[in-house]
Structure 1
Amino acid sequence: MRTTPRGNNFSNSAGNADTLAPPRNPFDTAKPVDGNLVPSQLNGSYTFDNYIEGDCNRLARSAGLAVANKPGTTSFNPLMVYGGVGLGKTHLVQAIGNHIKATAPERFVLYVSAEKFTNQFIDSVQRAQVQDFANFYLQVDALILDDVQFLANKGKTQEMFFHIFNHLHQSGKQIVMTSDRPPKDLQGLEDRLLNRFKWGLTADVQSPDFETRVAIIRNKMEQDGIDIPPDHVVDYLANSVHTNVRELEGVIASLVAQSSLSRRDIDLEMVKQALRHIIEEVEAEVNLDFIQKTVAAYFNISVELLKDKTRKKEVVTARQVAMYFAKHHTAHTLKTIGFHFGGRDHTTVMHSVQTVSDLVDSDKKFRDQVDELRKKFAK
């Protein structure tokens, strides 16, 4: 049994796909269907309007919009979007597909995960319908393949995708892919595939910065018809969940549900409760809280004074020491640390860290105090 289509059949398909008999639809193998009538497998809620732009994704979003406006005609073909889990890759590439469908409904746009593509190909081999499988994908005008790294070490599937890729690219069709890493770091993929991945543009998406997280929170709550909480509540949430967009949206969804069910506005206490039960406390948040309590107790003052505006010498010293340990014992940014010390800016934190470092070098008594405290934070 051959697991790839015969060369002459592939060539004929590329030359005049309209003359082909309707191939079987691998998304519904019960009956043959016209490829242009196949649902695009897109989630209609993923659009450019609700994909928040920030420094973390600006290049990828701009390239995606260019591709969506002129699929197959830009130099961004293929477009490869890569990044970690939950950073919005799938949202972005599906927004591309939805935009193409909205502006050119006659085009056959198809979104498929690499895992589903692989399973469909295996199924076509078992059913002796490999040619149908190939012919189906040859008709696509814009192919969006999610998580291309899943093709690693699947030789026959890679060979099939290689031929489909070549045909679509040569025919001026658009190819969009996502991956969890850049092409140069993909293992288990054939060199000829990796070479083609580099023909277009590779753009990364990174963890959203504070400003982007705030915008995501506001946008999501506005979409869900919830009154946006005061700035300090939004800032607290944005500072507490900073790993990825998916986790942040999960917390927001929980807050929206709680607000609707309890018929009360989202406040700081509700946010703290949501964080405690959904993400089981943010580790860095717990560490920072422990540092503040430990330093405050050592200097015999309250945690509230550490966050207060008072300029009393003993309080300022304690605050600076706490910021110093927060910088060295948590993953928080300077901006986040400042936020948890009464909303101070990052320059204040930088000054505090430097002041403590200088005193440690020049004042033995102070150094002994810092060393004593340091033992309490040793892991």
Structure 2
Amino acid sequence: MVQEEQFWQRVQELAQKFLKQATYDYYVSQARLVKVENETATIQLDLPLKQLFWDTSLQPMLIQAGFEIFEFEMKVAYVFSDQATPQIAQSLEEPKRDMTYPQDAETQLKESHQIQDKPDVNPKYTFDNFVQGEGNRWAFAAASAVSESPGTAYNPLFIWGGSGLGKTHLLNAIGNKVLADNPRARIRYITTDNFINEYISHIRLNSMDELKEKFRNLDVLLIDDIQSLAQKKSTQEEFFNTFNALYDNKKQIVLTSDRTPSQLDGLEERLVTRFNWGLPVDITPPDFETRVAILNQKIQEYSHLTFKQETIEYLANHFNSNVRELEGALKNISLVANVKQVDTITVDLAVEALRSRTQTPASMTVIPIDKIQHEVGQFYGVSVKEIKGTKRVQNIVQARQVAMYLARELTDNSLPKIGKEFGNRDHSTVLHAYNKIKSALAKDDNLAIELQTIRGKIR
């Protein structure tokens, strides 16, 4: 308990230090620490609307206080005044104080409860703050069209791609746009895991009619990670009936997945067929320029810090798989900056901050592409100039493709960037070379040994 008190006191100290008094009074003064358990701090807020601010502006302070008092990275869970269990309520021994907050926030909260039952759409995610790039342009356009005319354009809309690329952002952006145009629209955002849990709960309580009423009368259903429905036969049956009810009534359905509909093993064919009725559209990892744009937007949440352009480019080069990695990197950097009490983020400080993140050696080691070209050339007896050139002699082509493969494997550079380093070649050429070598490695043990030898020289 002593540590919990010290932790909460430190959070408040940091908040008072970095926030204006009015901001502190509104967002922090009414908050309560419920408990610290399993490396997670449970915090009670009086309004759900305040969680977004805690998730962004206050998260670095919670992490810093967690390291200082408990010596581990603190995770955070939130409960709200009307959700507190009896056990939680008993742990809050301080008497309740009168809560005051801006009239518009109070009105918005009341209206949201009057209009619909928990849309669960995150107001943080909008089309305005979604950064467009080549990898997500079509998904963005399709999502925008759906939000403008739900139930008529692209129904269902099926967005697929890797983790952390913006699928959830687009789902919520659709919900927020529809609600902005029609506050009385019946909308529900839900993950597939939560849909499964709700289904199981209603089965146990013998209240399936309530579940049907909740989901089959929606105007827009936004469901995340539909691949989790695999092998859940009874839940698939319920979702199939829900899908049909919504589709037949011209209500909008938007789904996300990590794979295309046809690649969803463990799903009934009739569901896969329906997922293909509308528009399947993919999201691919952001290129370097898009990652820079994303970083420039994200650092606005850390207004007390100044990021040098070279630092932004360093981060964009080192995190190319998804946006969440960029967000996590910024949180670590903010933490180190707060501890060191600096407000200018240099490359050196970023490197120091990122040492605490769990990264593979390849992603944290800067390997120049020209070094890869040099070592590959030495091994195959060709020059770097020939690797970058246009000659189609067999040994040069082999060296060129191996170098492209290793540049993709050992660096965080985008395909266009790698292509530029190989004589301004198109990104599709790099991808072809990568896939060809990858395929050959599965059948050619000698090639695998060659690449292992070259890797050893590069590192």
TM-score, L = length of structure 1: 0.70
Q: After superposition, what is the alpha-carbon deviation per residue over 1:13-41, rounded to whole angstroms, capped at 9, x for unaligned?
A: xxxxxxxxxxxxxxx9xxxxx99521211
SS at match of 1:176: strand
Match of 1:209 among 287, 291, 308: 287
Match of 1:244 in 2: 322
Instruction: For CA contacts below 8 A with separation 6 or more, give which structure has more relative contact order.
Output: 1
Q: Structure 1 regions of 5+ residues with no counterpart?
A: 1-27, 29-33, 297-315, 339-343, 352-370
Alignment of 1:321-340 (within 5 A): 327=404, 329-331=406-408, 336=413
Match of 1:111 in 2: 189
Alignment of 1:10-159 (within 5 A): 36-74=115-153, 76-159=154-237
Cα deviation, residue 181, structure 1? 0.2
Aligned residue identity for 2:118: P
Alignment of 1:335-350 (within 5 A): 336=413, 347=420, 349-350=422-423
Contact 1:218 1:228 in 2 (8 A): no
Contact 2:367 2:411 in 1 (8 A): no
Distance 2:200 2:414 in 1: 52
Distance 1:231 1:252 in 2: 14
Distance 2:414 2:117 in 1: 51
Contact 2:115 2:183 in 1 (8 A): no
Match of 2:240 in 1: 162
1:221 partnered with 2:299: yes
SS at match of 2:328: helix
Q: 1:230 to 1:79 in 2, by over 3 A?
A: same
Aligned residue identity for 1:350: G
Distance 2:420 2:197 in 1: 54
SS at match of 1:144: strand
Q: 1:204 to 1:244 in 2, by over 3 A?
A: same
Q: 1:255 to 1:167 in 2, by over 3 A?
A: same
SS at match of 2:365: helix
Distance 1:141 1:65 in 2: 16
Cα deviation, residue 284, structure 1? 4.3
Contact 1:222 1:228 in 2 (8 A): no
Contact 1:35 1:108 in 2 (8 A): no
Contact 2:305 2:343 in 1 (8 A): no
Match of 2:79 in 1: none
Aligned residue identity for 2:423: M
Distance 2:455 2:159 in 1: 45
Q: 1:333 to 1:100 in 2, by over 3 A?
A: farther
SS at match of 1:350: coil
Alignment of 1:265-280 (within 5 A): 265-280=344-359
SS at match of 1:175: strand
Alignment of 1:194-205 (within 5 A): 194-205=272-283
SS at match of 1:213: helix
Match of 1:310 in 2: none
Distance 1:47 1:278 in 2: 29
Contact 2:158 2:256 in 1 (8 A): yes
Distance 2:142 2:369 in 1: 44
Contact 2:318 2:412 in 1 (8 A): no
Match of 1:368 in 2: none
Contact 1:149 1:180 in 2 (8 A): yes
Distance 1:171 1:56 in 2: 33
Contact 1:287 1:330 in 2 (8 A): no
Q: 1:292 to 1:284 in 2, by over 3 A?
A: farther
Contact 2:366 2:411 in 1 (8 A): no
Q: 1:129 to 1:55 in 2, by over 3 A?
A: same
Alignment of 1:257-272 (within 5 A): 257-260=335-338, 262-272=341-351
Cα deviation, residue 346, structure 1? 5.9
Aligned residue identity for 1:134: K
Aligned identity (percent) is 34
Distance 2:242 2:151 in 1: 15
Distance 1:347 1:136 in 2: 53
Aligned residue identity for 2:158: M
SS at match of 1:45: coil
TM-score, L = length of structure 2: 0.58
Distance 1:274 1:49 in 2: 30
Distance 1:281 1:270 in 2: 19
Cα deviation, residue 225, structure 1? 1.9
SS at match of 1:82: strand
Query: What is the aligned-residue RMSD (CA, Å)?
Result: 3.8
Distance 1:97 1:69 in 2: 11
Q: 1:330 to 1:176 in 2, by over 3 A?
A: same
Q: After superposition, what is the alpha-carbon deviation per residue over 1:72-102, rounded to whole angstroms, capped at 9, x for unaligned?
A: 121x111111111111111111111111111
Q: 1:334 to 1:122 in 2, by over 3 A?
A: closer
Q: 1:337 to 1:127 in 2, by over 3 A?
A: closer
Q: Highest Rg: 1 or 2?
A: 1
1:174 partnered with 2:260: no
Contact 1:327 1:337 in 2 (8 A): no
Distance 1:138 1:35 in 2: 19
Aligned residue identity for 2:205: R
Q: 1:200 to 1:333 in 2, by over 3 A?
A: farther
Q: 1:35 to 1:122 in 2, by over 3 A?
A: farther
Distance 1:54 1:91 in 2: 14
Distance 1:221 1:287 in 2: 23
Contact 1:56 1:209 in 2 (8 A): yes
